Amino acid sequence: MRDVSDQTERRSFLSRLGLGAAVIGAGLSAGLVAAPPADAQTRGFKPKRHKEDAWMDGLKGGHRIVIDSAAPASGGAALLYANNTFSANKSGYGLETDDLAVIVVLRHFSTPFAYTDAVWAKYGEALSGMINFKDPETKAAPVTNLYNSAAASRSLANMGITIQSLVDKKVQFAVCNSATHALAGGIAQKVKSDPETVYKDFVSNVVPNSHLVAAGVVAVNRAQEYGYTLLTAV
């Protein structure tokens, strides 16, 4: 009965985001997908600027990369790809951390990994059920953010690369506010709380260098308009 309940909750969450389950599964076996930013100026189109996105243009670095993720495993892979970007630019080009501007987008089912251990300690079981993610070692719901734990299993998609290690490299995180609201609503029902209370817990406990964006998909669009090359972690 629990499995059926969890599946129903996840479908409800998808519905609130206006997405179908097929969206999650599409392309999961395709690996890393890269797309260059559109050269808008050559087509006579100048993207409109908004103050909400100004932080993207304020990042230093001669190369700009945005890494999109929408599922638990892709959230971990996004961290790994970000670290690989720094390593390869160092070994292949002699570039330093400050030569790169990197944004990791945590949206849809990867959104909870933008929350600190305080959130996972309080809502870990509910979050685990909502996004279908468990600790591979214990097979139980995590009570910490495993993507920010150096002690977490290397079998996870981030392969030991932690959020904090990327924060130290000045990586920025775009956190989906739409998914945060949807998660808060679903979890409030499970824990018999108020959605606004859960939402406030989430947004007051995000990892460093986080930027709450209207929606992760919008952040992906805006970043490309600011000249970031898109990598999609799947």
Per-residue confidence in pLDDT tens, the chain, 234 aa: 455 455 556 666 656 665 444 444 444 444 555 555 555 455 688 999 999 999 999 999 999 999 999 999 999 999 999 999 999 999 999 999 999 999 999 999 999 999 999 999 999 999 999 999 999 999 999 999 999 999 999 999 999 999 999 999 999 999 999 999 999 999 999 999 999 999 999 999 999 999 999 999 999 999 999 999 999 998
Range of the domain at 168: 2-232
On whether the CB atoms of residues 219 and 180 are closer than 8 A, the answer is no
- Indicate which CATH number applies to the domain containing 50: 3.40.1260.10
Inter-CA distances, 105 with 42, 79, 89, 118, 233, Å: 27, 10, 21, 21, 10
What pLDDT does residue 44 have?
A: 83
**Alpha-carbon distance 199 to 222, whole Å?**
24
The domain tally of the chain equals: 1
SS3 218: helix
The phi, psi pair for 121, rounded to 5°, reads: -65, -35
**pTM to 2 decimal places:** 0.84
Amino acid at residue number 17: L
